[in-house]
Amino acid sequence: MAAKIKMSPALSKAIRKSELFFGFTPRRIRKLKLDLKTKALMSLGNCAQVDYVNDKWDGKTLRYFHEFEQPARLLFVPEPQADGSNVLIIVGKFKLLADGIVG
């Protein structure tokens, strides 16, 4: 039996947004532990486009891309996480809607 997940208002909102974007209930929810020891982020420059692969809406895996209308900044946490992964953050004037990324 899977462990019961405490539903905070932020988690409930994230699940609703996920359902709108992907067209189905999340297959799994997992807790991600971020260890942000740093007090500053570093900039990699402007993010011109986001590419991603997903099976939203019809279950068929497709490649999607979005070119930003206005410059978006690509920031990262300089220290890798305990598992060796890195944290990238895109900051800009865009929205995640059911149709995809807009802006």
Domain spans in the chain, listed from the N-terminal domain onward? 9-102
Question: What letter represents residue 27's amino acid?
Answer: R
pTM for the full model? 0.67
Cα(99)–Cα(52) distance, rounded to whole angstroms? 14
- Environment class of residue 94 by beta-carbon count within 10 Å: exposed (0-12), middle (13-18) or buried (19+)? middle
pLDDT exceeds 80 at position 56: no
Query: Would you place residue 55 in the very low, low, confident or very high pLDDT band (cuts 50, 70, 90)?
Result: confident
Strands 62-76 and 95-97: unpaired
Average pLDDT, the chain: 84
